[in-house]
Each structure stands twice: as C-alpha cells, then as structure tokens.
Amino acid sequence: MRYLLVYAFLGVGLLSGAVWDSVAALHAEEAAPPGGEAQPPASPGTEPVAAPIFSPPDQIKGVPRVLAPGVLITIPPDIQVDETHTRQDIVELVARDPSYDWAKDRDSRRTIHCLEFQFKIPRLIEVDVPQVSGRLQRKPILYLVYAVKNTGKELKPVLAEDGTYRVDDVAEPVRFVPRFILQIHDLDKSYPDRPNPLIVSQIRRVEDPAIHFFDTTDMNGREIAVGETLWGVATWEEIDPSLNRFSILVGGLSNAYRWQDPPGAYKPGDPIGQGRLFSQKFLKLNFWRPGDEYIFKASQIRFGIPGQVDYEWTFR
C-alpha cells in the first residue's frame, strides 16, 4: 500500500523543498517583469515569446507562460543549395564493368527542408525514479526544453525544359524524427537522451503546466504543418558530474545527408550499398559549465564555449 501511494504522488511530481525553492527563484528571473519595468535587451535572434500561434491541440492545455527576452534562444533554419544534389558513381555498376561511363558521375537531386529550433539553456532537476527493485531513487536529471517550427523553408530541384535544374522555394509539412546526443568534450563520453514519461511530467510542472511537452518517443514521426510549432524535452540520466565543456547534438531538423563509397569498399557480388558511408546533418550546440563535480548547479551552465562557436551545423 505504501508503494501504491508513492507511485500515485509520482504522477504529479515529487520534488524536495530545496529544489522547489531553486525552481521558484529560476522562474522569478525568467518571468516577464510586471508594471512595464525596463527589460534587458534581447540577444540577437531572441525575443519575448508568448503562446505558440499554431500548435496541435493535444499540446497546449491553457495559456503558456510568457518568457522574458533571451530565455528562449532561436537557431534559424539552415539550408544550402548544394545540399539538394550530389554527383556520385553508381559503384555497383562501375565495379561490374568499368566501361559503363553512363554510370559514372551521376546526378542525384532531392528536396531539402530544415526546421527552426528554439531552446532554453539545459537545466537540472532532481526526481524520484522507480528502480527494478520497486523502490524509488532520487536522481539528478539534465534536461533540454525546446520548440521546433516548420517555417515553410524548403528547396526543391525542378527540371527545366532545357534539361537544366532550377531550385524553387516550397512549403510543405515536415515529419520530425528527433535524435539528441550529449557529448562531454574533456571526458570523451556520449549519452543518448532517455525518454521517461514520469520525469517529463515533473519537468512540465516546473517549466509550464499549460504545455504538454513531448519526449523523444512522443515526438518521433510527428508531422509538422507549415507554421506549426511543437514543444519537446530531451532528458539525460546519470551524466558524469565532472562535465565542464559539452555539446548537445540535435538530429532530425534537416533531411540533408552526404554519402560516399570508399575506393574498393564495394566488390562485384557484394550486397547493394556494401561499404557505403552515410552522414546526416546535425545541429551542434556548445555549452560550458565552470565548476567541479561536487557542486553542480543549472545556473552555472553557459551557452557557448570560450574560444569556440556557440553552435554549428555539422555532418556525422
């Protein structure tokens, strides 16, 4: 009976008094100041954010909080024209007969999209997580609250009458398949995010009860209409507390990819695609946490790493 009561309370979230005090202080800082008081200037690419104008009805359950300038950082979509085409040999044919010149340097065209990405600086929360033993264990959880928006920015190659291609701007729904990886630079460690509905329910209570944040599992495969915004959260458990410089890689925002066939990797008779290397486009967000493993506070995390770019788009 005791455990049944514990699990019942877990559904609405369990936080220690010290954590709630820190949470209250955090939202006191990020809430819009009353009475029209002066606000600090917004960083480039940031602005006060109210409720999303266009979001699915199963996400918005009331009136979301209005965030102060700079709390939500915006990364605009990145689409390059050269991502819409590649020129490669069809190695399966060329390896069979090198005289197949028509199979060499073939042109491949595709429509490329990219979503707008907004996020809050990663935060820390302590939650009671059920264990295999049936008991609860209090764990620190690092999490990233984010929003993705389909701005309608897509590039589509179109074959012209003269045989050449032009690239048109199009606006179509986009299916989002997210992937989040946390990398610690100094320790050379990587952590995929670990979706957990119980953890997300407690994060929602802290961040905004009016928004039903999707974890990676709930977000996976959702179609985002043009102009629509989806809110999500990525979570990590058991992160090495000595992390200092780290990055969060976000996949699925763009469908751009690269591929190559290393010389000699494919031989006649091999399965199609044998040895072929693919890389996908990721958004890399860099963060810095001055401090040590003994005192780990969310307020210590800074966006950007000294001497490096704040973010970049990369293929991996």
> Is the pLDDT at 48 greater than 90, yes or no?
no
Predicted confidence band of residue 298 (pLDDT cuts 50, 70, 90): low
Q: Which of 172, 174, 173, 170 is nearest to 158 (CA)?
A: 170
Share of the chain above pLDDT 70, in %: 80
- Of the chain, the percentage scoring pLDDT greater than 90 comes to 53
Mean pLDDT of the chain: 83
The model's pLDDT over 146-180, given as tens digits with 9 standing for 90+, comes to: 999 999 989 999 998 888 899 999 999 999 999 99
Rounded Cα distance between 50 and 29, Å, is 16
Tell me the backbone φ, ψ of residue 37, rounded to 5 degrees.
Answer: -65, 155
pLDDT score of 299: 64
Alpha-carbon distance values, 208 to 16, 35, 214, 225 (Å): 18, 22, 13, 23
Per-residue pLDDT reduced to its tens digit, 269-281: 899 989 999 999 9
Check pLDDT > 90 for residue 79: yes
CA angle 122, 126, 127 (to 5 degrees): 120
Q: How far, in Å, CA of 267 to CA of 260, rounded?
A: 15
Positive or negative, the CA dihedral 25, 14, 302, 230 is negative
